[in-house]
Structure 1
Amino acid sequence: MSTRNLKALFRPQSVAVVGASTKPKSIGAVVMRNLLKAEFSGPVMPVTSEHPSVAGVLAYPDVACLPQAPDLALICTPQVTAIPGILRTLGEQGTRAACIMTSGLHHSLTEDGSTVLEQALAVARAHDMRVLGPNSMGILVPGIGLNASYAHEGALPGKLAFVSQSGALCTAVLDWARPKEIGFSHFIHLGDTEGMDFGDVLDYLGSDPMTRAILLYIETIHERRNFMSAARAAARNKPVLAIKAGRSREGARAAASHTGALAGSDLVFDAALRRAGMLRVDDIEEIFGAVETLARSRPMKGKRLAILTNGGGLGVIAADDLSELGGELATLPEEVIEK
């Protein structure tokens, strides 16, 4: 677990799109459109040998021809077996972050019998390059005008970070949030979480001054010890909420088929979240409620809280919860009570 080179991933000064395309609705075309539409202030460099330009921007035939090393490389080429070589050339030029949007790397074999994924990760480690994905929808950081994704909808700037293993859920949250004018500091799709896991992202977001709260959608965690360490540290600084899929045996099998990894015991996971100081939500409706609550709430300035209720029993329950969480019940002045 480390935040090393994550600034290049989440706050890049330049971006290359490897596999940029003019074909409508292709990933390479949508990524270019989103980057330009969001008005990213740094250089955007499309890489393709098929077109002299993409979306009106001069294209380069391969990554070796780029005029500078991009901070962030978005890999969306359909040529899966070419990806390790692309990463190697980028690493030699000085690129320190890549988001692999292409899928199927763990199914494709190389000449020596290893998978393309294994080779790609080995190349990334050799060049100290951080990799998001593969099979990632991308990254949105609205505060700096970065929409490095193939999402069909952009995000508004805000103080809430959303991190998900599900691209479909990312799409659903974006569709829901924009009409409600709810914004995000970061919107991150981890994809298959092979190059980077929740612990790395939590470590970064936990100390990010532009993020006030963090919401996670989790199917499986590869580096459990790193996750716990990062979760505890982040939860001490700001609210961290999580929805964990695969609670039932059937759901766990579905999660395994989706991410390719076992979901793990739900009872163990629930206990781990509590120990880390995180709050768990159980379904999509609660996710939307949590997003709206966190986006519109304001940070507490002290421990005292006044409880207003139309029922005595509910007030007592709320007072008990407040006390257990370390809060204090405020005493209202007489003139306030009289009003």
Structure 2
Amino acid sequence: MGELSTLFAPEQVAVVGASDDDGSVGKAVTENLLAEFEGEVFAVNPNRDSVLGLDCFASLADVPVVDVAVVVVPPSIATDVVRSAGEAGIKNVVVITAGFSEAGTEGATRERELVELAETYDLNLVGPNCLGVMGTTVGLNATFSPTSARPGSISFMSQSGAFVTAVLDWASDRHAGFQNVVSLGNKAVLDESDFINYWGADPETDVILGYLEDISDGRAFIEATREVTQDTPVVVVKSGRTEAGASAAASHTGAMAGSERAYEAGLDQAGAIRVDRAEQLFDYAAALSGQPLPDSDTIAIVTNAGGPGVMSTDAVGGSNLELANFTDETLTALSESLPEGANIYNPVDIIGDARADRFESTLDTVLADDNVGMALVLACPTAPLSFQALADAVVTKQRESGTPVVTALMGGSSTNAAADTLSEAGIPTYFDPARAVDSLDALAEYRHIREREYVEPTTFPVDREQARAYLERAAERGTRQIGVEGMELLDAYGIPTPDGAVVNSPDEAIETARRLGERVVMKIVSPDISHKSDIGGVEVGVAQSDVRDTYEDLLVRAENYQPDATVVGVQVQEMVDTDTGTETIVGMTRDPQFGPLVMFGLGGIFVEVMEDTSFRVAPVSERDTRSMLDEITSAPLLHGARGREPADVEAIAEVIQRVSQLVTDFPAITELDINPVVATPDGVAALDLRLTLDTEKL
């Protein structure tokens, strides 16, 4: 992939399939380019002499110089056009044409050919099946959208072309402007990570927005976004919050993960701000592009209306912000300046007869308070109040203080001129106070993202060759499901396990039990029986005298439960004192987009009932694992709730990191559960294992 600057700011654009037929995409794209584009437009159509006053070229080979080729020909010849673009030395190709991977097997074959051509000729290829691209610095509208983007500092990408047209129409009424707009389409070559990387380095882009239905390469997205968000916020609507595919999973982790868990973890680790609605997307963009970041998460509210003040207070309660506690000096100043009946505490109600000057003096006092990180000015229309004078005052005080301020002007057309004044100064205006609070919350969230310190994952000394040898032996046997018989895999990666062995006769069981102590744990070992406890397949505290009978009983129970189950043997394991410990689970499922998704949570037999879990995309760092431990609802159990001695959380964190390293090293491991991992004050012990292996990936 080459530099994308000429994609969004070209000097010459050729429309292959240009047309003057009413209703055609070729006509719409050509008209849009002729309307505003500052460079040259070339029409390519071998069946026409001219289109919309432009002389037609028979092919791209005949056009002198082209920065961007826009392809709107039928899918059957689109690949030939892309090949001709590559042969002509054109580096940017926008394939608007549909009929590729979204259209079945034949279309998927065409799309693979596009990818091969892009690799051969080093093409920046957008699409196929897309609306096109826009670059406002040169008036570029290489789309068939009926609305062009207004100039601004937002760069916007969307996987839905229809969403782009809706957003542009909506934004034109609200004076929202864009630097670049791209419809991603099928993302055959260029995807969201490519544009994030480019816009992150673009000084004219203040905020990156995206509507995404999926992410092509989760790891690339995390790495790109994590770096870019140090300077440029990324706000994303990710549609499709389903957990499709979880029902087919073999492990506890897989059953509880689903694609949504992976996206939640991936977007968070990337530092992207995720929103649920299109309105939030642009609300947040307005604040992030126009206001400085707050020094704290505290908010002051200044209002001339009690009811809306309560509404905004409720919104703060539902956010990650908190109402600022004013200093005594601030309270004294407000008491002296405000009339009787005003409320000097936060939210500050300066009552309904307030003019703009009262707003101004109150805001001046509040913004001078070191306990105030940001402010909301909330005003309803009254006879004494001039919204325009209020807007002028807010602009002045925000600039003087350097503190982020947003406004909620709860009126109709009477607020329009004031809203324009505020917008020109980068101060967002909303009708709903809750939207204003949410936007300030986004500023605070981005500040926290900027303050994150990325820590490289620890690489532990492990016996990778021992682990590989074990997995290869399993693959040679055709084994896909591995249970407790695979504990040596955990041993190879330094994950503490109890002493024990898998045995195949009562005599072996007795011999192993004598070595391990007076009482032992015995478990049926079968890759076909997932929940051993449900069938009586686990016996705890077996005395030496009962080992033989227990061995026979376990085999009978397995036979009765599932006669065709493969039974590897019986595991005899040393007892672990669980009375002083907490049963946890460490697991992994491999997500199609993000790769290994590591889980930690409350474990034991009720793990899927409780679903008290946290997830991260591997590889995870020590900092990631500490966050995972704190996120679960039952975290107090680990830290010594109700007089319990705290568990060894350092040891738990290390187990999670070692599992992360294991599943990163071996992509053939598609699912894994270590349940339970018993966490005690003196360390941890992994008591059971279930692993799914893709033998073709070894």
* Fold shared by both chains (TM-score > 0.5): yes
Distance verdict in 2 for CA 1:181–1:332, change over 3 Å: farther
In the alignment, the residues of structure 1 paired with residue 113 and residue 138 of structure 2 have an alpha-carbon distance, to the nearest angstrom, of: 33
In the alignment, the residues of structure 1 paired with residue 122 and residue 326 of structure 2 have an alpha-carbon distance, to the nearest angstrom, of: 52
Q: How big is the alpha-carbon RMSD for the aligned residues of Structure 1 and Structure 2?
A: 3.0
Aligned residue among 14, 17, 38 for 1:16: 14
Question: Who is 1:237 aligned against?
Answer: 231
Q: Which amino acid aligns with 2:85?
A: L
In the alignment, the residues of structure 1 paired with residue 318 and residue 325 of structure 2 have an alpha-carbon distance, to the nearest angstrom, of: 10
Which secondary structure state, in structure 2, belongs to the residue aligned with residue 184 of structure 1? strand
1:25 and 2:23 aligned: yes
Residue 83 of structure 1 and its aligned partner are, at CA, apart by 2.2
1:298 and 2:291 aligned: yes
Distance verdict in 2 for CA 1:84–1:298, change over 3 Å: same
Q: Check whether the contact 1:307–1:318 (CA below 8 A) recurs between aligned residues.
A: no
Distance verdict in 2 for CA 1:122–1:138, change over 3 Å: same
1:146-168 CA deviation, whole Å, 9 max, x = no partner? 11111011110011111100111
Residue 272 of structure 1 and its aligned partner are, at CA, apart by 1.4
Distance verdict in 2 for CA 1:268–1:59, change over 3 Å: same
Q: Which amino acid aligns with 1:125?
A: E
1:87 and 2:85 aligned: no
Which secondary structure state, in structure 1, belongs to the residue aligned with residue 156 of structure 2? strand
Question: Who is 1:261 aligned against?
Answer: none
1:195 and 2:189 aligned: yes
Which secondary structure state, in structure 2, belongs to the residue aligned with residue 5 of structure 1? coil
1:202-225 CA deviation, whole Å, 9 max, x = no partner? 000111111111111110111111
For structure 1, which runs of at least 5 residues remain unmatched after alignment?
253-263
Residue 172 of structure 1 and its aligned partner are, at CA, apart by 1.2
Distance verdict in 2 for CA 1:248–1:307, change over 3 Å: same
Distance verdict in 2 for CA 1:123–1:33, change over 3 Å: same
Aligned residue among 230, 253, 267 for 1:273: 267
In the alignment, the residues of structure 1 paired with residue 86 and residue 325 of structure 2 have an alpha-carbon distance, to the nearest angstrom, of: 56
In the alignment, the residues of structure 2 paired with residue 156 and residue 313 of structure 1 have an alpha-carbon distance, to the nearest angstrom, of: 35
Residue 63 of structure 1 and its aligned partner are, at CA, apart by 1.3
Question: Who is 1:35 aligned against?
Answer: 33
Q: How many residues align?
A: 314
For structure 2, which runs of at least 5 residues remain unmatched after alignment?
247-257, 302-308, 338-698
Residue 54 of structure 1 and its aligned partner are, at CA, apart by 1.3
> Between Structure 1 and Structure 2, whose CA radius of gyration is higher?
2
Residue 170 of structure 1 and its aligned partner are, at CA, apart by 0.8
In the alignment, the residues of structure 1 paired with residue 142 and residue 321 of structure 2 have an alpha-carbon distance, to the nearest angstrom, of: 42
Q: Check whether the contact 1:304–1:330 (CA below 8 A) recurs between aligned residues.
A: no
In the alignment, the residues of structure 2 paired with residue 108 and residue 62 of structure 1 have an alpha-carbon distance, to the nearest angstrom, of: 29
Q: Which amino acid aligns with 1:91?
A: G
Residue 273 of structure 1 and its aligned partner are, at CA, apart by 1.3
Which secondary structure state, in structure 1, belongs to the residue aligned with residue 229 of structure 2? helix
TM-score (norm 1): 0.83
Distance verdict in 2 for CA 1:26–1:333, change over 3 Å: farther
Percent identity reads 34
Q: Check whether the contact 2:196–2:228 (CA below 8 A) recurs between aligned residues.
A: yes
1:97 and 2:92 aligned: yes
Question: Who is 1:53 aligned against?
Answer: 50
Q: Which amino acid aligns with 1:82?
A: I
Q: Check whether the contact 1:97–1:130 (CA below 8 A) recurs between aligned residues.
A: yes
Distance verdict in 2 for CA 1:125–1:330, change over 3 Å: farther
Distance verdict in 2 for CA 1:336–1:192, change over 3 Å: farther
Aligned residue among 285, 294, 307 for 2:299: 307
In the alignment, the residues of structure 2 paired with residue 319 and residue 195 of structure 1 have an alpha-carbon distance, to the nearest angstrom, of: 39
Q: Which amino acid aligns with 1:299?
A: P
In the alignment, the residues of structure 2 paired with residue 103 and residue 319 of structure 1 have an alpha-carbon distance, to the nearest angstrom, of: 42
Which secondary structure state, in structure 1, belongs to the residue aligned with residue 210 of structure 2? strand
Distance verdict in 2 for CA 1:101–1:320, change over 3 Å: closer
Residue 330 of structure 1 and its aligned partner are, at CA, apart by 9.2
In the alignment, the residues of structure 1 paired with residue 288 and residue 144 of structure 2 have an alpha-carbon distance, to the nearest angstrom, of: 26
Q: Check whether the contact 2:267–2:273 (CA below 8 A) recurs between aligned residues.
A: yes
Question: Who is 1:74 aligned against?
Answer: 70
Q: Which amino acid aligns with 2:73?
A: T
Question: Who is 2:147 aligned against?
Answer: 153
Question: Who is 2:486 aligned against?
Answer: none
Residue 96 of structure 1 and its aligned partner are, at CA, apart by 0.6
TM-score (norm 2): 0.42
